[in-house]
Amino acid sequence: MNRAILLAVAVIVSPMLWGQGLLKNAGFSDIAEGTKWPTGWECTKGRELYGYVNIDGLASNDSLRYVAEKAGVPCLPVTQSFQCVPNTQYVLLAGLKGDGTTRPYVAIYAQGMKTPAARVNANSEKWQRQRITFNSGGARTFEVQLHGDASMARSAKSVVGMAGFDAIQVYRADQEPKETAPAVPFVAPGPNIALDKPYTLSPRPSYRLCTDADDKIQLTDGTYTVGYFWTQMTTVGYSRAYPAMVTIDLGKIEAIAGVSLSTAAGAAGVTWPETIFVLVSDDGKNWRSLGDIISLSLKHGLPSADKYSTHRFATADLKACGRYVQVMVAQTPYCFMDEIEVYRGKDEWRALPPQGKPVTSAKDFFLETKIVGSIRWRLASDLAAAQTAIR
């Protein structure tokens, strides 16, 4: 099956839906009096290349259209600013349509950042629904930018062609409409008891563009990376670490209901993790396996295998206790993460027998189980792509 078809998501919903997010006039149907310009949106140079049309759209007949008959015309993006809560998951939705040559492009930037927190594009002559998640990190003010072609984000000059934009919206991940949200949105089952807790790393981080002295605190500091993931110092990165292991000391034996790990992939040769195993221990010596976060998080949706995005693999289905939590990530040739959270369970769980499969050797355990986990990931990813194509 054609890969482009697998990645295209066409969701037809009521225009009213798009007005409930963080962006104003997301469907471009509200036009300034006496103009063809949608309210709430700005363009300071090259505005004549963009305009409202009511004959072609995704959610309705209304949309924003880019048309350029001449290349090289100075042109800045169509923009709108919005506010986010720091260190919170968000979702960008965008309806995009090209002409077979243009690749309409939407990017979100935190204020003062030069690399996008999220970006999507399309190369189809039919409307495509694009969806990508991102974390606000420490930022509050963001700007969404619409470009008639992806190359215009770099050149700030027009390319010949036509492109369409519709239903451009941003939601908090926990407020995304059910029509576009994953089947079961993830909800943290309790407070993050790993916040500001110490941890050890094995091996040492080795990816030079994001390695610094603060790698020893960044995975539990509550701050998510903003911008291109592996070039930010808030990210912990590895080159050819297989596996990368993080062992968190919670300070005392705690009831554990869930774990999440935030990462990114889909570009520059960075692929998604094959497995993310979670182990617990009362003493840091005798370990028990609680399973693979990727397998446990399948019901919350998977990231696209072929485009850059951030993603939080998460589960709220654990019922265990322990002082030490070890996360073992199988991701090669590169591995990146910016935050690990551990969620408190119920105190009465401490009276239960130890949960999980005893592990005598972490290395042997990893080698034995990673193959099954990676096959499961591949099958789930292919199934998700097929379901997307059907929709």
The C-alpha atoms of residue 99 and residue 29 are separated, in whole angstroms, by 22
Q: Which residue blocks in the chain are alpha helix, DSSP H? A: 3-7, 152-155, 293-296, 362-390
| Tokens 């300071």, residue located | 44
Phi-psi region of 136 (alpha: psi -120 to 50; beta: other; left: phi over 0): alpha
**Which residues in 124-151 are b (16+ Cβ under 10 Å) and which e?**
beebbbbbbbbbbbebeebbbbbbbbbe
Q: Please, which pLDDT band fits residue 105 given cuts at 50, 70 and 90? A: very high
Judge contact between 63 and 128, C-beta under 8 A. Answer: no
Percent with pLDDT over 90 in the chain: 69
CA distance 100 to 290: 48
Residue 13 has pLDDT above 50, yes or no: no
Cα-based distances in Å from 239 to 230, 295, 331 = 11, 24, 9
Q: Are 229 and 310 in contact (CB under 8 A)?
A: yes
CB under 8 Å to 375, separation ≥6 — which residues?
none
Predicted pLDDT of residue 20: 74
| β-strand partners of 74 | 157
Structure tokens that stand for 76 in this block? 């800045």
Under 8 Å between Cβ of 262 and 339: yes
Burial class (CB in 10 A: 0-12, 13-18, 19+), 33: exposed
Give residue-wise pLDDT tens across range 178-220.
Answer: 777 777 889 999 999 999 999 999 999 999 999 999 999 999 9
Q: Is residue 295 predicted with pLDDT exceeding 90?
A: no
Give the C-alpha separation, 364 to 368, whole Å: 6
| pLDDT for 319 beyond 50 | yes
The pLDDT value given to residue 248: 99
Q: What is the DSSP letter of 263?
A: E
Tokens coding 355: 């949960």
* 313 token code pair: 């693999």
| Model confidence at 2: pLDDT above 50 | no
* Confidence at residue 367, expressed as pLDDT on a 0 to 100 scale: 77
Distance of alpha carbon 155 from alpha carbon 75, whole angstroms = 9
Determine how many CB atoms are found less than 10 A away from the CB of residue 42. 13
pLDDT tens-digit map of 258-277: 999 999 998 889 999 989 99
**For residue 284, is pLDDT > 50?**
yes
Write down all domains in the chain, each with its CATH number in brackets. Answer: 3-175 (2.60.120.260), 199-390 (2.60.120.260)
Residue 85 CA to residue 81 CA, distance in Å, equals 14
Residue 120 predicted with pLDDT over 50: yes
- Ranking 37-46, 121-130, 236-245, 247-256 by mean pLDDT, the lowest is 121-130
Give the pLDDT confidence of 133-159 residue by residue, as tens digits: 999 999 999 999 999 999 999 999 999
**Mean pLDDT estimate for the chain:** 88
Q: Are 317 and 166 in contact (CB under 8 A)?
A: no
How remote is the C-alpha of 88 from its chain's centroid? Answer: 11
pLDDT score for 307: 78
Instruction: Check if the beta carbon of residue 225 is closer than 8 Å to that of residue 310.
Output: yes
Lowest-pLDDT range of 20-29, 181-190, 288-297: 181-190
Which string of DSSP letters, residue by residue, matches 310-322?
EEEEEE----EEE
Please say if the pLDDT value at position 5 is more than 60.
no
What pLDDT is attached to residue 250? 98
Instruction: Give the pLDDT band (50/70/90) at residue 377.
Output: low
Task: Give me the residue label for tokens 């570009």.
Answer: 267
Cα distance between the two ends of the chain: 14
